[in-house]
Chains A and B, each alone.
Chain A
Amino acid sequence: MTALDVTAAGKAYGPVAALAGAHLSVPEGALVAVLGPSGCGKTTLLRCVAGLERLDAGEIRVAGALVAGPRVHLPAHRRRVALVPQEGALFPHLSVADNVGYGLDRAARRSGRVDEVLALVGLADHHRRMPHQLSGGQQQRVALARALAPRPPLILLDEPFSALDAGLRAELRQDVRAALRADGATAVLVTHDQGEALSLADHVVVMRGGTVVQDGAPADVYAAPADPWVARFVGDAMLLAGTVTGGRARTAAGEAPVVGAGAAGDPGAVTVLVRPEQLRLTPAGDTAPGGITGRVLRHDFHGHDSVTVVGLDDGTRVLSRRLNDGARDEPGTAVTLRIEGPVRAWAADAAR
């Protein structure tokens, strides 16, 4: 059974359409990330699912039950969809335990469920604290525990990590995922951070302009983006002009086999996606076939990996990323480059 089904959801604020026929399906027990730039409608979608906004068109089902649709609008408190907002929004006048117990009835509060979820988020001994005595990360953990406590069929996380600093964020992300898994909860995470979406979710839904443009496992969205815009949005991407003949793409940076929709297309002008980690550099003088020569323009060291910027003879600049092996490409060095693995291609007029 699916925990959430959104069908052709539409919502407009005056002349601005925030949602224009968005579809979303979340299987029970999954963690789905809704990814998109600001203004893509992801927050509106979340608020419509929570029942805080009224849908103009389409319908929403939570655990099979219709909660929003034509002439149906179940109020927020009857939907059993728990919310974890951006800054946690703990009730400032209640202790940690009372915050977590807020959505529970009296019997459930005594059943030890509060301790259970607090232990899940790693705050077993913080019952009596007040929200202002907690750090930002701890507040988010309590907010998650509060959402988990009543065992709702669906939890909505609205950019819950965006207010935290980078180190804390990575740690909290994994803890949040672990807590959701351990409790068997189903969750939708709304974010504009592609790294967060790809590393955390079982399933990524990319939104743009109020509609879903792609929907798939993180690795598939990264490797096989639906269009050049998605390719660029989910990671570093070089979009090179080229041609396709006989299932092989030819670009200024070399040749590679084409997979997916572009492979069968007309032999003509295409836009080819090459990820920086697909571009291999070897010292100049490598005479194996298919090599393209270029000159190192810059070498950016990032610690765990490094990116080399190479200028090709025709003026194109390309990026090559590799795990840090201690080698340095000095600017000015001549190199040979080669594309590794298959690439994606789209008809040139589809590129933006």
Chain B
Amino acid sequence: MALLPLVYLLVRTAEAGAGRIAEELFTGRVAVLTARTVALAAVVTAACVVLGVGTAFLVGRTDLPGRRLFAVLGALPLAVPTYIAAFTWVSTLDGFTGFWASAVVLSLCSYPYVYLPVVAALDRADAAQEDVARSLGHNPWRTFRSVTLPQLRPAVAGGALLVALYVLSDFGAVALLRTDTFTAAIFTAFDLGFDRTGALVLATVLVALTTVLLVGEGATRRRDARYAAVGAGARRPHTRLRLGPARLPAALLLAVVAALALGVPALNLARRLAAGVSRPGSLPEIAAAAGNSLTVSAAGAALTLLLALPIGLLVARAPGPLAAGAEGLSYLSHALPGVVIGLSLVFFGVNVAYPLYQTRWLLTLAYAVLFLPLAVAAVSAAVAQAPPVLEDVARSLGRSPARVLATVTVPLTVPGIAAGAALVFLTCMKELPATLLLRPTGMDTLATELWTHTGVAAYAAAAPYAALLVALSAIPTWFLAARTGALASQEGTR
């Protein structure tokens, strides 16, 4: 079901004929696009690894002043959708466009993808192993390099690949900052010329690129098992490294990163918000957009969850490769660019399901396809909260399977499933490219209004939408940070 649009995309591309494909594919423009997209992904990934690992180490393993605050600040950039960050930067600094502008904005927005798993891995890493290394005469730095860092490698690799996938699929920021990458080019080809074959071929190349990354991701994850802790035993807190005279400069460095990632968007929005809200006729427009966003996202979340429930249950309860792949599913959601899904559903709607075309239903379907992996991951994680042994016990106490479901399984799983639904709902609200491609003519959501206003440099008019969207995205970010333990672990250790 999730693959339907992709299959359709491939079929339609193939129909265009080999000659036409080659004609579209082997052009200077495609080569330039590929080079630029790959370069952007590489630069942003490298920057995120440096920022993410550095922040995680300073927060998790040193006596950095204010590290609890920095622990939270490190996760927060996820709450700023990249197109909003791009909007605030371009409206603050005139002429802040091009490759490096995109690189800066995307790095500042996506380094939490590295920071969060690494800070969790630092927390999980066996303190006893480090104590042993120290007792065998290794200094703290050598211990970190030889014992801790190898344990972090899977987390770093996983985070870096997420960033790379994210850069490949990002549309809003690169389009606003006028950096021509695949997603922007696909949208332009479709939006301006209705250049069907061109858009399809470009989309196929993009899918190929993400597939390459996904395969790489799978390869690194298979090696993870080696780093698992051997044996049980109580967890002890880690020894923190004393920074000495470097304490203040280190804190200052993190403060600058936070200021760039969060301060610029916050200040800019605050400055323009008043002007945006007081613009004549803005309030009804905002209300209409918010209403549209809410209804479409609610429908999207409901459909997604409906499809995800049986799959999630199956994944969580069926042992074997299915369950092992459950975690991988959350990566998959980052691997299907919204532009591609949107585009393939446009063609699907026009040619196969015409009654759906130009209705909210097709948009709802797009959300379901895009965020199904996210919801499946949430459902299976929630079901794992109710281990089968609890059901065994309940049955041994004479309760029928239906009673067991109602009194044990459901109470334990519903909170997790509800959180998953909220996450999907809020992610739908933020979604830009598929919404732009599939919304019925005349229907505007918060995200599309922001896009329209920014496109014509009406920054003040765009600000209220941006502010609303940031407020909404902060909620799932908080969930994510709480679940990865970035917040909790810092409270436990001193």
Q: Across the interface, name the chain A residue whose C-beta is closest to B404.
A: A77
Nearest chain A CB to B473's CB is how many angstroms away? Answer: 30
Given contacts A89-B389, A89-B393, A91-B390, contact A103 B412 (CB under 8 A): no
C-beta contact mask, B393-437 vs A, less than 8 Å → 1, else 0? 111111111011001100110000000000000000000000000
Count residues of chain A with CB under 8 A from any CB of chain B.
26
Query: Considering the chains assembled together, what is the distance between the CA atoms of A91 and B411 in angstroms?
Result: 10
Query: Considering the chains assembled together, what is the distance between the CA atoms of A333 and B452 in angstroms?
Result: 98
Determine whether the beta carbon of A77 is less than 8 Å from that of B399.
yes
Chain A residues 41-77 with CB under 8 Å of chain B are 50-52, 75-77
Determine whether the beta carbon of B393 is less than 8 Å from that of A150.
no
Query: Considering the chains assembled together, what is the distance between the CA atoms of A143 and B390 in angstroms?
Result: 11
Determine whether the beta carbon of A77 is less than 8 Å from that of B387.
no
Within 8 Å of chain B (Cβ to Cβ): is A30?
no
Partner of B396, one of A81, A91, A92: A81
What are the residues of chain B within 8 A of A80 when measuring CB–CB?
A: 398
Partner of A77, one of B390, B401, B411, B412: B401
Nearest chain B CB to A320's CB is how many angstroms away? Answer: 35
Determine whether the beta carbon of A147 is less than 8 Å from that of B397.
yes
Partner of A103, one of B390, B397, B401, B411: B397
Determine whether the beta carbon of A76 is less than 8 Å from that of B392.
yes
C-beta contact mask, A73-113 vs B, less than 8 Å → 1, else 0? 00111111111010101011100000000110000000000
Given contacts A85-B389, A89-B387, A91-B390, contact A102 B396 (CB under 8 A): no
Within 8 Å of chain B (Cβ to Cβ): is A192?
no
Within 8 Å of chain B (Cβ to Cβ): is A146?
yes
Nearest chain A CB to B63's CB is how many angstroms away? Answer: 31
Determine whether the beta carbon of A82 is less than 8 Å from that of B407.
no
Q: Across the interface, name the chain B residue whose C-beta is closest to A86.
A: B389
Partner of A102, one of B397, B401, B412: B397
Q: Which of B392, B393, B395 has the most CB of A within 10 A?
A: B393
Q: Across the interface, name the chain A residue whose C-beta is closest to B411.
A: A93
Count residues of chain B with CB under 8 A from any CB of chain A.
19
Given contacts A89-B387, A91-B408, A93-B411, contact A150 B398 (CB under 8 A): yes
Given contacts A89-B389, A91-B408, contact A82 B397 (CB under 8 A): yes
Nearest chain A CB to B317's CB is how many angstroms away? Answer: 15
Q: Across the interface, name the chain B residue whose C-beta is closest to A98.
A: B407
Q: Across the interface, name the chain A residue whose C-beta is closest to B414.
A: A93
Query: Considering the chains assembled together, what is the distance between the CA atoms of A91 and B396 in angstroms?
Result: 14
What are the residues of chain B within 8 A of A103 when measuring CB–CB?
A: 397-399
Query: Considering the chains assembled together, what is the distance between the CA atoms of A78 and B401 in angstroms?
Result: 11
Determine whether the beta carbon of B397 is less than 8 Å from that of A93.
no
Determine whether the beta carbon of B407 is less than 8 Å from that of A102.
yes
Determine whether the beta carbon of A50 is less than 8 Å from that of B392.
yes
Query: Considering the chains assembled together, what is the distance between the CA atoms of A92 and B390 in angstroms?
Result: 9
Determine whether the beta carbon of B398 is less than 8 Å from that of A78.
yes
Query: Considering the chains assembled together, what is the distance between the CA atoms of A156 and B389 in angstroms?
Result: 14
Query: Considering the chains assembled together, what is the distance between the CA atoms of A173 and B157 in angstroms?
Result: 48
Query: Considering the chains assembled together, what is the distance between the CA atoms of A287 and B395 in angstroms?
Result: 68
Given contacts A89-B389, A93-B412, contact A77 B407 (CB under 8 A): no
What are the residues of chain B within 8 A of A143 when measuring CB–CB?
A: 393
Nearest chain A CB to B136's CB is how many angstroms away? Answer: 29
Determine whether the beta carbon of A85 is less than 8 Å from that of B392.
yes
Q: Across the interface, name the chain B residue whose C-beta is closest to A89.
A: B389
Chain B residues 355-411 with CB under 8 Å of chain A are 387, 389-390, 392-401, 403-404, 407-408, 411
Nearest chain A CB to B204's CB is how many angstroms away? Answer: 44
Chain A residues 134-150 with CB under 8 Å of chain B are 143, 146-147, 150
What are the residues of chain B within 8 A of A82 when measuring CB–CB?
A: 396-397
What are the residues of chain B within 8 A of A146 when measuring CB–CB?
A: 393, 397
Nearest chain A CB to B123's CB is how many angstroms away? Answer: 20
What are the residues of chain B within 8 A of A156 when measuring CB–CB?
A: 396
Nearest chain A CB to B407's CB is how many angstroms away? Answer: 7
Determine whether the beta carbon of B412 is less than 8 Å from that of A92.
yes
What are the residues of chain B within 8 A of A89 when measuring CB–CB?
A: 387, 389-390, 392-393
Query: Considering the chains assembled together, what is the distance between the CA atoms of A102 and B390 in angstroms?
Result: 12
Nearest chain A CB to B418's CB is how many angstroms away? Answer: 14
Q: Which of A77, A87, A143, A147 has the most CB of B within 10 A?
A: A77
Given contacts A85-B389, A89-B387, A89-B390, contact A77 B395 (CB under 8 A): yes
What are the residues of chain B within 8 A of A93 when measuring CB–CB?
A: 411-412
Nearest chain B CB to A336's CB is how many angstroms away? Answer: 46
Query: Considering the chains assembled together, what is the distance between the CA atoms of A152 and B398 in angstroms?
Result: 9
Query: Considering the chains assembled together, what is the distance between the CA atoms of A91 and B392 in angstroms?
Result: 11
What are the residues of chain A within 8 A of B395 when measuring CB–CB?
A: 51-52, 75-77
Query: Considering the chains assembled together, what is the distance between the CA atoms of A147 and B392 in angstroms?
Result: 12
What are the residues of chain B within 8 A of A78 when measuring CB–CB?
A: 398
What are the residues of chain B within 8 A of A81 when measuring CB–CB?
A: 396
Determine whether the beta carbon of B398 is less than 8 Å from that of A83.
no
C-beta contact mask, B248-266 vs A, less than 8 Å → 1, else 0? 0000000000000000000
Determine whether the beta carbon of A150 is less than 8 Å from that of B390.
no
What are the residues of chain A within 8 A of B390 when measuring CB–CB?
A: 89, 91
Query: Considering the chains assembled together, what is the distance between the CA atoms of A105 and B398 in angstroms?
Result: 10
Nearest chain B CB to A104's CB is how many angstroms away? Answer: 9
Q: Across the interface, name the chain B residue whose C-beta is closest to A149.
A: B397
Determine whether the beta carbon of B389 is less than 8 Å from that of A102.
no
Determine whether the beta carbon of B396 is less than 8 Å from that of A50.
yes
Determine whether the beta carbon of A102 is less than 8 Å from that of B399.
yes
What are the residues of chain A within 8 A of B396 when measuring CB–CB?
A: 50-52, 76-77, 79, 81-83, 147, 156
Nearest chain A CB to B488's CB is how many angstroms away? Answer: 15
What are the residues of chain A within 8 A of B411 when measuring CB–CB?
A: 93
Partner of B392, one of A52, A87, A150, A152: A52
Query: Considering the chains assembled together, what is the distance between the CA atoms of A156 and B390 in angstroms?
Result: 15
Q: Across the interface, name the chain A residue whose C-beta is closest to B387.
A: A89
Q: Across the interface, name the chain B residue whose C-beta is closest to A154.
A: B396
Query: Considering the chains assembled together, what is the distance between the CA atoms of A91 and B400 in angstroms?
Result: 16
Q: Across the interface, name the chain B residue whose C-beta is closest to A146.
A: B397
Q: Across the interface, name the chain B residue whose C-beta is closest to A52.
A: B392
Given contacts A91-B408, A93-B412, contact A77 B389 (CB under 8 A): no
What are the residues of chain A within 8 A of B398 when measuring CB–CB?
A: 77-78, 80, 103, 150, 152
Query: Considering the chains assembled together, what is the distance between the CA atoms of A155 and B412 in angstroms?
Result: 26
What are the residues of chain A within 8 A of B387 when measuring CB–CB?
A: 89
What are the residues of chain A within 8 A of B397 when measuring CB–CB?
A: 77, 82-83, 102-103, 146-147, 150
Q: Which of B390, B392, B397, B399 has the most CB of A within 10 A?
A: B397
What are the residues of chain A within 8 A of B407 when measuring CB–CB?
A: 102
Nearest chain B CB to A290's CB is how many angstroms away? Answer: 49
What are the residues of chain B within 8 A of A91 when measuring CB–CB?
A: 390, 393-394, 408, 412
Extra A-B contacts (5), CB below 8 Å, given A83-B397, A146-B393, A147-B396: A76-B392, A76-B396, A77-B397, A146-B397, A147-B397
What are 15 A-B residue pairs whose CB atoms fall within 8 Å in the complex? Answer: A50-B396, A82-B397, A83-B397, A89-B390, A89-B392, A89-B393, A91-B412, A93-B411, A93-B412, A102-B407, A103-B397, A143-B393, A146-B397, A150-B397, A156-B396
Which 7 A-B pairs rank lowest in CB-CB distance, beginning with the nearest? A103-B397, A83-B396, A76-B395, A77-B395, A89-B389, A93-B411, A89-B393
Q: Which residues of A contact B (CB under 8 A)?
A: 50-52, 75-83, 85, 87, 89, 91-93, 102-103, 143, 146-147, 150, 152, 156
